[in-house]
Structure 1
Amino acid sequence: MLDRTMRAALSAPLEAAAAALDRPGITPDRLTVAGLVLALISAGAAAAQWWGAAVVLWLLSRVADGLDGTLARRRRARGRGSESHAGGFLDIAADFIAYGVGVFGVAWGATAAYGAPWWPFLLVLVAYYVNGTAFLAFSSIAERTGRQLDDGRSLSFLGRIAEGTETIIVHSLWLILPFWAWQIALVWSLFVGISAAQRVVTGYRLLR
């Protein structure tokens, strides 16, 4: 829901950061991997109940995730690179891993520290699974049938109320407030579940 607005708001800062990082040794794929490594360390920190470190690492990982595409587009615009389907694949795979492991890490830490139940976090993972299935299947079929939704990303993304911006906010929120993590997860699972249903219905209608 907030992705379009956030991308517009962050466009200039990301462009400036990408310009500063535009060096031979730094590539979009390396930024993607760096973002994934930071997200994995963040999940480990959450599991160890180092909540402050976990939220900082999580936000840094998402900055790296935003910079990889910006750097790639900057280089293409200057004739120093071409569109990389491998890079797009790596980016979406890294996102799925980061989100899933992030849920696991906070669930582990919140359960150990505050006796939080597991099942709200499992609901979040199920909702993520359905969402991922819906938009990845849609993107694949849309590509073959010439019905892509082009918003500058590698895949045809069916935007709904739970998108990347909301996911970053929620994952940050339950690291900042781990004693409420399972309640946040329960509410979030409802939002993601509604988005999953919307994506299934919308994808089916667009492909008919």
Structure 2
Amino acid sequence: MLDAAARRVLDAPLARAAGALDRPWLSPDRLTALGLALGLGCAVAAAVQWWGTALVLWLVSRVADGLDGPLARRRRAVGAPGDAGSGGFFDITADFCVYGSTVAGVAVGVTHAFGAPWEPFLAVLLAYYVNGTAFLAFSSIAERSGRQLDDGRSLSFLGGLAEGTETIVVHALWLLLPTVAWQLAWGWAAVVAVSAVHRMWVGYRSLR
């Protein structure tokens, strides 16, 4: 829901940051890999209840994830070699790895530290699974049928109540407020589930 507004605010600063980072040895895929490694580190830190460390790793990983696209577009604009298809594939795969692992890491951490239930986090993972299936299936079929949505990203994304911006905020809140993370997880699972149903409906109608 907030991704479009966030892009309007952040696109210019991220483009400038990508320009400052543009060096031959730093490719968009390497930035994606850095975001993946930091995100997995966040999951491990959360699992062992290093909440502050996990929060820093989470935020830095999302910054790296936000910079790989602008750097790739900058390289393409000047005719530098690269493959937007493989980069987009790596990026979305890394995102799903990071999102899923951090949910699991927070679940392990709060269960051991506070005796919190794990079921809310399982519900989040299920909602992520359905939501991800809906928009990835739409992207694939829309591409084949010539109905893709071009917003500058590698995939056709259907908007929804739960998008990347909201995910970053909620995961950060879990790490800031681990004692109430499981309550937040129930609410977030419901929001993602509503978003999944919405994407299924809109995607079905768009492809008819």
Tell me the TM-score normalized by structure 2. 0.98
Q: Distance in 1 between matches of 2:110 and 2:188?
A: 16
CA drift at 1:84: 1.9
Match of 2:55 in 1: 55
Task: Tell me the amino acid that sits aligned with residue 38 of structure 1.
Answer: L
Task: Tell me the amino acid that sits aligned with residue 60 of structure 2.
Answer: L
Q: Distance in 2 between matches of 1:48 and 1:144?
A: 44
Match of 1:190 in 2: 190
Match of 1:129 in 2: 129
Match of 1:101 in 2: 101
- Equivalent pairs: percent with the same residue? 67
What secondary structure is seen at the aligned counterpart in 1 of 2:132? helix
Aligned residues: 208
Task: Tell me the amino acid that sits aligned with residue 13 of structure 2.
Answer: P
Is the contact between residue 72 and residue 81 of structure 1 (CA under 8 Å) also seen in structure 2?
no
Q: Following superposition of structure 1 onto structure 2, how do residues 78-117 of structure 1 map, counting pairs within 5 Å?
A: 78-117=78-117
Q: Distance in 1 between matches of 2:125 and 2:84?
A: 29
Task: Tell me the amino acid that sits aligned with residue 72 of structure 2.
Answer: A
Q: Following superposition of structure 1 onto structure 2, how do residues 1-208 of structure 1 map, counting pairs within 5 Å?
A: 1-208=1-208
Q: Distance in 1 between matches of 2:69 and 2:47?
A: 29
Task: Tell me the amino acid that sits aligned with residue 96 of structure 1.
Answer: F
In structure 2, list runs of 5 or more residues that go unmatched: none
CA drift at 1:16: 1.5
What secondary structure is seen at the aligned counterpart in 2 of 1:80? coil
CA drift at 1:78: 1.6
CA drift at 1:79: 1.8
Q: Distance in 2 between matches of 1:84 and 1:16?
A: 20
Q: Distance in 1 between matches of 2:82 and 2:102?
A: 32
CA drift at 1:77: 1.2
Tell me the TM-score normalized by structure 1. 0.98
Q: Distance in 1 between matches of 2:37 and 2:198?
A: 32
Q: Distance in 2 between matches of 1:8 and 1:53?
A: 29
Task: Tell me the amino acid that sits aligned with residue 146 of structure 1.
Answer: G
Is the contact between residue 39 and residue 61 of structure 1 (CA under 8 Å) also seen in structure 2?
yes
**Structure 1 segments of 4 or more deviating over 4 A?**
none
Q: Distance in 2 between matches of 1:201 and 1:12?
A: 33
What secondary structure is seen at the aligned counterpart in 1 of 2:26? coil
Task: Tell me the amino acid that sits aligned with residue 3 of structure 2.
Answer: D
CA drift at 1:82: 4.6
CA drift at 1:11: 1.2
CA drift at 1:81: 3.4
In structure 1, list runs of 5 or more residues that go unmatched: none
CA drift at 1:83: 4.5
* Residues 68-95 of structure 1: per-residue CA shift (max 9 Å, x gap): 0000001111222354200000000000
C-alpha distance 33-82 of structure 1, shift in aligned 2 (>3 A): closer
Is the contact between residue 130 and residue 196 of structure 1 (CA under 8 Å) also seen in structure 2?
yes
Task: Tell me the amino acid that sits aligned with residue 56 of structure 2.
Answer: V
